[in-house]
Amino acid sequence: MSTPTPPIATIASLSHHEGRTVTLRGWLYNLRASGKLLFPIFRDGTGTIQGIVPKAAVPEEVFETLKNLTLESSVIVTGKVRADSRAPSGYELDVEGVEVIQRVPDETPFPISLKEHGVDFLMEHRHLWLRTPRQSAILRVRATIMRAAAEYFDTNGFIRTDPPILTPNACEGTSELFEMDYFDDDKAYLTQSGQLYIEATALALGKVYSFGPTFRAEKSKTRRHLTEFWMIEPEVAYAGLDDIMDLAEAFITHIVTRVLEHHRADLKVIGRDITKLEAIIAPPSSLPATPIVAPLSSFTTILPSALSSFAESGAPAGDLDSPGAPRPASGTWERSATESDGGTTEPGAPSSPAHLRAKVGGTTTKSRFPRLSYDEAHAMLEKAYAEGKIENPHKYGDDFGSPDETYISSQFDLPVMVHRYPAAIKAFYMQPDPTDPSKALCVDVLAPEGYGEIIGGSQRVDSYDLLKSRIEEHNLPLAAFQWYLDLRKYGSVPHAGFGMGIERVVAWLCGLDHVRETIPFARTLNRIYP
């Protein structure tokens, strides 16, 4: 501390320091020795970099300190940044000095070595496993998925409203809930979805979303299930099924775009084939030369007049649709003039008159994701069974099983929207299709490559009498749902929304076999530690 230390840098920012000596603060990730040369690899949370330590070029104590250093010891390293085209990051560090902050004792080495470990061992050491490059990369991608998801709604006129986690009743029946005592008299249950509550805030604020943890006490042990997982749920007043299908498409496209913008290196570490993701953001034939996410404006200098072509047309808003890429979230805090403006939607949508419904996102997309009715999807499965392409027949009226979903999604490069399932297998709050009341105005979005359902949504019942009878049919306690019924008594409007499970999307975009790697500390049937 007697001599001034070189400026502190992060590994991710080393390109700004080429040719200069910097201080890095991090950990020893790996160490290779080759005679009088050491190749320590350092990590600092932003990335990894290889150091070069020739015995002849550094003080004896630096060489000896590093030569014997244990993995994951914390170190502050000084060295000169040198471009090297062979290095994965493009840079190497000519080490000049090292200070060990805490040396991992030789007798208790870092438990996760570079060899294979069993899953139980890794999960038991999850707090340390997180430090390995693949797990860190997954967490960085997860953070971007969460940020992009919130950004999409924030920049398209949605207000975030947080529903309660502790609820007095279940969203979809009392099947599999975590229950606890709530002070003296009451029971409380952990929420399965914020939907019912944000229906109330949507009728107050127009377009809203929630973003928080949800819980299912299911005793299922599959690679797709966690007992605690994160959901983001938009809900829109004056909107119908088609609106939220448009919204879901633009929303997913935005998230994939952001992940590809920021995480190509991370996805490479994870081993993800990104060509399948590139297909999501634009058809290969029409990939634009410039990034698909172009700024609408700079951060604070947006002028309403710059958007006049969107906003001030006297023509019906439906004319604002332009072919091509969806309009992404703009990344600006300014509301765009059109963000909350609606428009007429596709002709023929039977769910409600077009002028009742919103253009809910900032999207001006033409639909690109395939949309199949339940009946069409069933017919596809019947044909596949007849041709021996799936093992078991799909029974009309049943939900799709995992192999069914995998087959359907494998027929397309893009996420598939399956809509209008039989009402009998769907939740009580779903609006019946007026053209066939045995069907619900609902949609499931299936991710490609067999990753299954990532979004489930619906238009909600807006009739007081119908909702009341549905609650009674499902044997739900009417008193607990009185407030929910009130929403149909005082200014009911058509409204719709969906929920997207974050962990399923992380699994899909990272190409993971199991959701346990998608969240820092997974909670499953058999695990609540660490």
Q: Which of residues 394-423 bind its own copies (CB under 8 A)?
A: none
Total binding residues toward its own copies, as defined by CB under 8 A: 151
Looking at this protein, which amino acid is placed at residue 88?
P
Residue with structure tokens 């297909």?
A: 279
Are 161 and 212 in contact, with CB atoms under 8 Å apart?
no
Pairing of strands 159-160, 91-102: unpaired
Q: Which of residues 132-151 bind its own copies (CB under 8 A)?
A: 135-136, 139-140, 142-143, 146-147, 150
- Candidate segments 59-67, 79-87, 310-318, 391-399, binder of its own copies by CB under 8 A: 310-318
Which tokens go with 93?
């560090």
Amino acid (one-letter) located at 59 = P
- d(C-alpha 340, C-alpha 39), whole Å: 56
Answer yes or no whether residue 264 interacts with its own copies by CB under 8 A.
Answer: no
263 makes contact with its own copies (CB under 8 A): no
Please name the residue that has the structure tokens 């929910």: 484
**Strand, helix or coil for residue 215:** strand
Cα angle 499, 191, 245; round to 5: 10
CB-based burial, 388-400: b 16+ in 10 Å, e otherwise: eebeeebeeeeeb
* Interaction of residue 89 with its own copies, rule CB under 8 A: no
Candidates 193, 200, 206; CA nearest to 159 is 206
How many Cβ atoms are within 10 Å of 303's Cβ, its own excluded?
9
Binding string, 36-65, against its own copies, x = CB under 8 A?
A: --------xxx-------------------
1 touches its own copies (CB under 8 A) = yes
Q: Which two tokens stand for residue 252?
A: 């997913």
Binders of its own copies in range 240-259 (CB under 8 A)? 258
166 lines the binding site for its own copies (CB under 8 A) = yes
- Binding part of the chain for its own copies, among 55-63, 129-137, 366-374, 410-418 by CB under 8 A, reads 129-137
Q: How far is the CB of 88 from its own copies (least distance, A)?
A: 18
How many C-beta atoms surround the C-beta of residue 317 within 10 A?
A: 18
What distance in Å separates the CA atoms of residue 65 and residue 61, rounded to the nearest whole number? 6
Nearer to its own copies, 37 or 265 (CB): 265
Residue 335, strand partner residues: none
Binding string to its own copies for residues 450 to 489, with x set by CB under 8 A, is what?
Answer: ------------x-----------------x--xx-xxxx
Q: Which two tokens stand for residue 336?
A: 């765009």
| Of residues 29 and 407, the one with the C-beta less far from its own copies | 29
Interacting residue with its own copies among 37, 87, 217, 279 (CB under 8 A): 217
Q: Are strands 91-102 and 166-167 parallel, antiparallel or unpaired?
A: unpaired
* Of 76 and 379, CB closest to its own copies: 76
State yes or no: residue 119 binds its own copies (CB under 8 A): no
Of 10 and 406, nearer to its own copies (C-beta) is 10
CA-closest candidate to residue 244, choices 405, 444, 379:
444
Task: Report how far residue 104's alpha carbon sits from residue 77's, in angstroms, rounded to the nearest whole number.
Answer: 16
Binding of its own copies by 73 (CB under 8 A) = yes
Segment near its own copies (CB under 8 A), from 89-97, 245-253, 467-475, 514-522? 514-522
Closest CB 104 distance from its own copies, rounded Å: 5
Tell me if 160 contacts its own copies by CB under 8 A: yes
Ranges within 336-365 binding its own copies (CB under 8 A): 337-344, 353-356, 358-359
Contact residue for its own copies among 33, 83, 204, 386 (CB under 8 A): 204
Q: Which stretch binds its own copies (CB under 8 A): 26-34, 399-407, 426-434, 449-457?
A: 26-34
Q: Which of 48, 192, 227, 351 binds its own copies (CB under 8 A)?
A: 227
Shortest Cβ 258–its own copies spacing (Å): 7
3-state SS class at 448:
coil
Pairwise CA distance, residues 468 & 461, whole Å: 10
Give residues 266-305 in contact with its own copies (rule: CB under 8 A): 291, 293-301, 304
108 is an interface residue for its own copies by CB under 8 A? yes
Give the dihedral of Cα atoms 319, 324, 330, 335; nearest 10 deg.
10
How many other C-beta atoms lie within 10 A of the C-beta of residue 473?
Answer: 9
| Residue 200 contacts its own copies per CB under 8 A | yes
| DSSP 8-state symbol, 181 | E
Instruction: Give the bridge partners for 450, in sequence order.
Output: none
Question: Which of 37, 87, 306, 311 forms a contact with its own copies (CB under 8 A)?
Answer: 311
Binding flag, residue 525, its own copies (CB under 8 A):
yes
Q: Is 178 in the site for its own copies (CB under 8 A)?
A: yes
Choices 2-10, 378-386, 407-415, 423-431 (CB under 8 A): range interacting with its own copies: 2-10
Question: What percentage of the chain's residues is helix, strand, coil (to nearest 5)?
Answer: 30, 25, 45
Taking the complex as a whole, the smallest distance from the CB of residue 3 to its own copies amounts, in Å, to 11
d(CA 99, CA 85): 28
Rounded Cα gap, residues 439 and 444, in angstroms = 14
Stretch that binds its own copies, among 12-20, 271-279, 436-444, 466-474 (CB under 8 A): 12-20
Q: Is 309 in the site for its own copies (CB under 8 A)?
A: no
Map the footprint of its own copies across residues 180-199, applying CB under 8 A.
180-183, 186, 188, 190, 197
265 near its own copies, judged by CB under 8 A: no
CA distance 399 to 374: 9
